[in-house]
Amino acid sequence: MTQLADTPTAPAPDAALPASPAAPDTESVAVDVEALGRQLLGRWAEARLHSRELVARPEFQRLPELGTDEHRERTLGQLRLLVENDSVHRAFPSELGGSDDHGGNIASFEELLLGDPSLQIKSGVQWGLFASAIMHLGTDDHHRRLLPAAMSLETPGVYAMTETGHGSDVSAVGTTATFDEAGDEWVIHTPFRAAWKDYLGNAALHGRAAVVFAQLITRGVNHGVHAFYVPLRDEAGAFLPGIGGEDDGLKGGLNGIDNGRLHFTNVRVPRTSLLNRYGDVDARGVYTSPIASPGRRFFTMLGTLVQGRVSLDGAAVLASKLALRIAIRYGTERRQFTADNDDEVVLLDYQRHQRRLLPRLATTYAMSFAHERFLEKFDAVFSGAADTDDDRQDLETLAAALKPLSTWAALDITQEAREACGGQGFLAENRLVQLRADLDVYATFEGDNTVLLQLVAKRLLTDYSRKFAKADAGALAAFVVEQVGEAAVNRTGLRRLAQSVVDFGSTARSVGYVRGSAAQRQLLTDRVETMIAELAAKLRAANRLPKSEAAALFNRHQNELIEAARAHAELLQWEAFTDALDDAPDAGTRQVLTWLRDLFGFTLIERNLAWYLIHGRLSGQRAQAITEYIDGRLLPRLRPHALALTEAFGLRDEHVRAVIATGVELERQEEARAYCAEQRASGLAPIDEKDLVAGQNARR
C-alpha cells in the first residue's frame, strides 16, 4: 500500500501551496487563566469543584508517614466521609437516592486523586465496580435487595473478576458456578490455584460480599462468564464457610487499599444470586438470554462496566496536570549555572528543560480535551440518550484507545517531572515519587494497555474488512485516498472528517504549510489509514486459514497492530485538541493554545519520522525542518506562557501539597541573589581566581 504516492488525486510536485498565516509576536498575546480554567473543567465543572473542595480538607488527604495498616483504615474512613458528604451516588437511580448523573459521577470521582490515589481507587472498587455491577448486571430484585447496602457502605464490596492465571483474558477464568437443581443453588468453586481471584480491592480485610465472575454451568453446558453475588465475611470479619483468601501484602503503590486473594470451595448461594440481566436460569436449570450470541453477550456484560477505563483515563490526565504544575512552577523559580551577568539562569529558560516539559504539557492538554469528549460519549450511552449497540461498541473502542495512552503518558510525565526537579523531586514532601508509584498499576488494571490497543486494532480491521470483504487492491487504495476516516476515525464518536487524504510525498515541502491544521490532520490521518490498509492486506488470508495458522499470522503482525491502534488514539487526541481551539475564551488564549496544539501535532510527527520518510510522506529536509521548528519557534513562543497554562488547571496549594510549588524556591533564590548583589556592590565579594588569572594575563 506504499504506492499511494502515485494515485491520480495527488497534487503535482510544483502545485501551489497555501500560505501559512504569520504568527503574532509572543509578547503580544496572553492567556486568560480564569477563562481557560473554566473551559478545562468541562461540562461537569460543578461535580469536579465539589470534589476539589472535599479533597482540600485535611481529612481527605494522604498522610505520607502512615504505615500500611494505618493507611488502609484511614482510606476506609475516608469512604465513609464521602457517603456523609453525598459525593458517591450521582450515577445511581434517583429512586435509590442517586441523581442519574453518569458523567458527573465520573468527573467527581477522578478528582479524588488529588487527595490520595488510594482513596480514588478504593472508592472506585466500592461504587464504580461492586455497586455498579449490581446495578448494571442485576435486575430490579437485586437493586432492591443489594444496592442500598452497597451504596451506603454498610456492605463493603469486592469486584472478583481477575484471577492469578487470567487477567486480561476474562473469558477464560477458571472459577465455576454450577447449578444444583435439587438445592436450587449455585455451587461456586475454585478448581485450581491459578483460578484464585487476585489483586482484589477490599478482599484482604474490609469486603463483606463480592460480585464473583465465574463460568456458568447448568445441565452440563457452560454458558460462559456471568456475575454472582456472594457473601464473604460475617459481622466479625471472619470468612464464611468454604471461603478463604490472603492479603496481597505491600505493593509498589496504592497501599491504602487492602488488595487480596479469594478462593471458593463448593460455596452455595441461592439461584437468585445470579445477576441475571443478560442471562438467567430457572428452577429447572434452563438457561435463557436476551442476547443469542455467547460472544456478544460476554462483551455486552463487560461493556456495562466500561466506566472503570473512563475514570482511569481522567485520573491519569489529572495526575499529569498535578505533576506539571509542580515541575513547571519549580522550573520558573529555580536558578542554576551563572550567565555572563553573574546571575544564574532560570531552569525553564534552558531549551532542553523546555523540551522535557513543554511537549508533555501539550500532550496533557490534548489528553484533557479528548477525555471530555470521551466523558460526553460515556454519559450519552449510560443516560440512554445514545444507547444503540453501535454506540456501546464505539464507547468500548474509545475506552480501549484512550486509557492506554493517558496512563502511559502519566507515568512518563510524572517521571520526567521528578527528574526535572532534581533532588527536590525525589523528596516525599513534593509528591512526585509517590504519585508515580501509585499510578504504576494504572497501566495494567482495568485492562492491560497493550491488550486494549490490540482490541482497538482488531475493531479498526473489522470495520475495514466489512466494507472491503471482496475488494481488490485498487479499491483498497481508493478507500485510503478518498474516504479518510470512514473506518478508523468516524466510529470513535470524536469527529467526522470531511476532507480527503492526499499524498504528502511531494507536497510537504514547506514547514509553514505543514504547521496548518489541515496539513497536520492529513499527515496524522494518512498514517492511520495507510497502516490499517497495509495490515488488512497482510492479514486478509486469516479467514481462510486454520485457527492456529490464523493466530500465528496475527502474532507475526502484532506489533504493527499495536502501533496502528496507538496512531489512531493519538489522532483522536489531536482532533479533540483542535476542536477545543474553537471554544477558546479569547484570541490571545486561542493563539497560545494553537501553538500548544501545533507542538503536540509536530511532536507526534517527529516521533514517527521514520514512518513518514519510509512511506514518502515527508522528505528528509522537511523532517529536519519540523524538529528545527519545534526547537526554534514553538518552544520559545510557549515559554512565557508555560506557568499560566498550568495555573489554568485550577489546582490550589491544598490540592498540590508540594513544598517546591508554594513559592518557597523563589524566596530562596531571591535571598541568594540579593546577598550576592550586596556583596558585589559593597566590594566585599572575593575575587574569582579565574578573573584574577585573566587580569594577570592581560597585563603581561
Active site residues: 446
Grid cell of 134 as nine digits: 449490581
How many beta carbons lie within 10 A of that of residue 268, not counting itself?
14
Q: Are 618 and 612 in contact (CB under 8 A)?
A: yes
Closest CA to 612 of 559, 602, 578: 602
Pairing mode, if any, of strands 209-218 and 176-180? parallel
> What sign does the dihedral 275-276-280-284 (CA atoms) show?
positive
Buried-state track 475-511, b at ≥16 Cβ within 10 A, e below 16:
ebbbbbbeebbbbbbbbbbbbebeeebbbbbbbbbbb
Grid coordinates representing 143 are 437493586
Backbone angles phi, psi at 55, to 5 degrees: -75, -10
With cell 479469594, the residue in question is 262
C-alpha 404/C-alpha 462 separation (Å) is 21
Please name the residue that has the C-alpha cell 502511559.
408
Contact criterion met (CB below 8 Å) for 42 and 653: no
The C-alpha cell of 591 is what?
A: 493563539
Contact predicate 639/328, CB 8 Å: no
Instruction: Report d(CA 366, CA 362) in Å as an integer.
Output: 6
Q: Tell me which residue has cell 448486571.
A: 137
Residue with cell 498565516: 21
At 591, which amino acid appears?
Q
246: Cβ contacts below 8 Å, ≥ 6 apart? 204, 260, 261
DSSP string, 646-673: HHTT---HHHH--GGGTTHHHHHHHHHH
Contact 604, 646 (CB under 8 A): no
Instruction: Label residue 220 exposed, middle or buried (CB < 10 Å: 0-12, 13-18, 19+).
Output: exposed
| Secondary structure of residue 278 in the 3-state scheme | coil
- For residues 443 and 447, what is the distance between their CA atoms, to the nearest angstrom? 8
Place of cell 499511494: 4
Classified as helix, coil or strand, 215 is strand
- What are the CA-CA distances from residue 691 to residues 230, 684, 688 (Å)? 80, 15, 5
CB 66, CB 118: distance < 8 Å: no
User: Counting Cβ atoms within 10 Å, is residue 84 exposed (0-12), middle (13-18) or buried (19+)?
Assistant: exposed
Which residues, at least 6 apart from 700, have a Cβ–Cβ distance to it below 8 Å? Answer: none
Query: In three state form, how does the secondary structure of 473-491 look?
Result: HHHHHHHHHHCCCCCCCHH
Determine the Cα–Cα distance for residues 296 and 540; give it in Å rounded to an integer: 23
Which residue in this structure is represented by grid cell 464521602?
A: 82
Instruction: Tell me which amino acid residue 249 is.
Output: G
Helix (H) / strand (E) element for 454: namely: helix 449-467
